[in-house]
Structure 1
Amino acid sequence: MTTDAQTAAAPVSFPCPGCGGSMSFDADSQKLKCAYCGGEREIAASLSRPVEHEMDSNEETSPGLTDWGVKQQVIRCESCGGESLIPALQTAAACAFCGSPKVLAQGDVASIRPETVIPFQLNQQEAATAFTAWKRKRWFVPNAFKKGSVASKLTGIYIPYWTYDSDTSSAYTAERGDYHYRTETRTRVVNGKTETYTETVRYTVWHRVGGHYDRSFDDVIVPASRQYDGELLEKLGNFELEKLIGYKPEYLSGFIAERYSIGRKDGWDRARSKIDAALESEIRNEIGGDEIRGLAVQSSYYNRTYKHILLPVWNARYTFKNKPYRYMVNGQTGLVSGHVPRSAVKITLFVLLCVAAALVALYLYGEYGSS
């Protein structure tokens, strides 16, 4: 069990030049700021250029590529399995993901350090304000939730992502269908009399096609976290990646960095699925025609490289009528993604209104639609 004394003990990774206190990254000033005297210190820009690493290399055993700039330890939650990285001498009283106090130090475990990072742009209060504005725009939530205040615990976490580059060469075969039209003469019986009429009929002419398609992909992004529901992360994903800057440990001071739980090779499998979907769509456009059937694509991937990046997220938990919920706020743009309570009354009224509107439409169609 973690004692109060242990919880209070925090390492001074970046000491304040004025008072010697611990300095943390401040989202407002984009500097290190002392929690005691308020002194600030600039963070020198990283002069190193991000490196795209070869997929087939073994970076996990390379000391130079697992050096995060400060000694790290892995903390694992016994309840949800989440793993986060904190400075080696620091103790954690609760899991940053689920809030459970059952956290255990796992020691120094090698993790590929990030190449680049987007530092937090929103502070904790701004993230809470963004959530308040977001929940007031929800439709099917209880009024007490929409208008009332919600007490939530916000934790700043850097979420790990992989980005992948790859050149591809694809061979494809398919059948392309082109629509043609002809006029046909037909007969029908109207009021007991046979009438002759003409009708335009569409038919499809099929041709075998095949070819090669070459394409390069840059920065295909894949979340490296299993701690969040994929839908929430997708909705949160409007990060402005052009603002990535070189990683420096100062940006993590005062925050938690999640240790990636999806390895770079598993991440590549997910990136390849995105690449394959993009290739199929583009090859369909390349083939053209009105219909395509039997499309078969065989792709080769080469010059594969990857980067490990960290993106800022405010993670929060709250309760409403004794039920737990979670939301996240994009620490760069302020976009909110989360789960909210639902109002059974509002949903029922909406369904009844839709049914009533459908019945009115059917009545009007029956009265006037055939006239």
Structure 2
Amino acid sequence: MTPAEEHRFPCPQCGAELRFSPGQARLICDHCGHVEPVGSAGPHHRPIPETDFRKGLEAALPDTEIEVARYSKCPNCGAEVQFDPAVHATECPFCATPVVADTGTSRHIKPKGVAPFVLTAPEARRAMTDWLGALWFAPSGLQDYARKGRAMEGIYVPYWTFDADTRSRYTGRRGTVYYETQRVQVRDAKGAVHWQDRQVARIRWTPVAGRVARFFDDVLVLASRSLPSGYTQALEPWDLTRLEPYAPEFLAGFRAEGYTVGLEEGMAEARGYMDRMIERDVRFDIGGDRQEIHAIETQVSAVTFKHILLPVWSAAYRYRGRSYRFVVNGQTGQVKGERPWSAWKIAAAVIVGAALAAAAVLGLQYADQQGWIELQSY
């Protein structure tokens, strides 16, 4: 079993803490400027190994793939926040709720890969304020508060990826559309009855059966419930080609969230995605103009998984008694957050809209009156 790691990286020149520099693949010292490379030199690093799903499910993984870390659960959003040994209290990076460190530790499957941060904190903040500025009816005070408020926090969010080989048999029906000519009676505008030919669509059904196969590679499943699914889906897509083999240096200066969605639950979610893709393959294989699927039997084999960490910039603000959460994709700058509303802006828009509508009605009335006067004069 791997002991809990402090993930501390003192500068060899001055002793200050090194931090990972987003987009530069290096550790830097903000005190003396010392730089150390980290990770691969490019996209052609060695492939990240997969782990057998059955072994992970049966807790039969070797000790080298297990870590012991100290996590505390946020009482508000449920995020599993990782603590350094010297830290006893902090704030949840997703909702700003105070979190106190637990005294115990827990066993987790160690991450196999990590996608390092590409965006810096100022770039993430700029993306967030631009997103806020583009929202109609957002409170101006919140935009100013977010721009000048607390710094954004970089956090690595846990995901599972699943690979699987699938072979499916199906039965169903193929529908072919054809047209028949029918002679019908119609009544014209004068009430007279006439005969008219019309084309009526019919479907000719044919029983079918067949097989489809698909290999699924890196089906991505969020391993946390701290953020609503709408948030995480809005941050997609993720560039998994930028995954690096896990090294604690990538976490220097950042925090990591522990997974709360277990391996079995994650695979069940992945199977839902696989089943939808297999159904699409079956419909394509049936062909024709219409398809009916009666049954699909799928054999799943060679299932493997990886536990990976993906980069998210997070900010939580309390503005006039309400909490607002924002997250930014640490690779692309895609933003998602709780939509704020300004009551006075909405009221002003309603008043302006009503005034414009009233002006339009008065204008029409005036135009009608002028037309009537001109007609009377004529």
For Structure 1 versus Structure 2, the TM-score category normalised by the shorter chain is 0.7 to 0.9
User: Shift of the alpha carbon at 1:60?
Assistant: 6.8
Query: Whole-Å Cα distance in 1 between the matches of residues 82 and 145 of structure 2?
Result: 35
2:77–2:227 CA contact under 8 A, matched in 1:
no
Aligned counterpart, 1:269: 268
* Residues 70-90 of structure 1 deviation map (CA, whole Å, 9 limit, x = unaligned): x73223334433212233344
Is 1:309 equivalent to 2:308 in the alignment? yes
Task: Determine which structure has more spread, i.e. the larger CA radius of gyration.
Answer: 2
Is 1:40 equivalent to 2:35 in the alignment? yes
Aligned counterpart, 1:338: 337
1:60–1:112 CA contact under 8 A, matched in 2:
no
Amino acid at match of 2:232: L
Aligned counterpart, 2:82: 85
Query: Whole-Å Cα distance in 2 between the matches of residues 248 and 223 of structure 1?
Result: 21
Query: Whole-Å Cα distance in 2 between the matches of residues 309 and 237 of structure 1?
Result: 15
Query: Whole-Å Cα distance in 2 between the matches of residues 14 and 109 of structure 1?
Result: 23
1:77–1:104 CA contact under 8 A, matched in 2:
no
Query: Whole-Å Cα distance in 1 between the matches of residues 289 and 283 of structure 2?
Result: 10
What is the TM-score of this pair, normalised by structure 2?
0.82
1:73–1:105 CA contact under 8 A, matched in 2:
yes
Query: Whole-Å Cα distance in 1 between the matches of residues 72 and 303 of structure 2?
Result: 32
User: Shift of the alpha carbon at 1:49?
Assistant: 3.7
What is the TM-score of this pair, normalised by structure 1?
0.84
Query: Whole-Å Cα distance in 1 between the matches of residues 350 and 170 of structure 2?
Result: 52
Q: Which runs of 5+ in 2 are unaligned?
A: 1-5, 358-378
Aligned counterpart, 2:206: 207
Name the SS of the counterpart of 1:131 in structure 2. Answer: helix
Counterpart pick for 1:178 among 154, 173, 176 = 176
Give the percent of matched residue pairs that are identical in Structure 1 and Structure 2: 34
Deviates more, 1:143-152 or 1:36-45: 143-152
Name the SS of the counterpart of 2:283 in structure 1. Answer: helix
2:162–2:217 CA contact under 8 A, matched in 1:
yes
Counterpart pick for 2:21 among 6, 26, 37 = 26
* Residues 109-132 of structure 1 deviation map (CA, whole Å, 9 limit, x = unaligned): 111111111111122221111111
Pair 1:106–1:163, CA change in 2 (3 A): farther
User: Shift of the alpha carbon at 1:43?
Assistant: 1.7
Aligned counterpart, 1:115: 112
Pair 1:195–1:12, CA change in 2 (3 A): closer
Is 1:64 equivalent to 2:64 in the alignment? yes
Query: Whole-Å Cα distance in 1 between the matches of residues 186 and 123 of structure 2?
Result: 72
Query: Whole-Å Cα distance in 1 between the matches of residues 98 and 298 of structure 2?
Result: 48
Is 1:157 equivalent to 2:155 in the alignment? yes
Query: Whole-Å Cα distance in 2 between the matches of residues 62 and 255 of structure 1?
Result: 27
Q: Which runs of 5+ in 1 are unaligned?
A: 1-10, 357-371
Query: Whole-Å Cα distance in 2 between the matches of residues 124 and 60 of structure 1?
Result: 40
CA RMSD of aligned residues (A): 2.7
2:146–2:317 CA contact under 8 A, matched in 1:
no
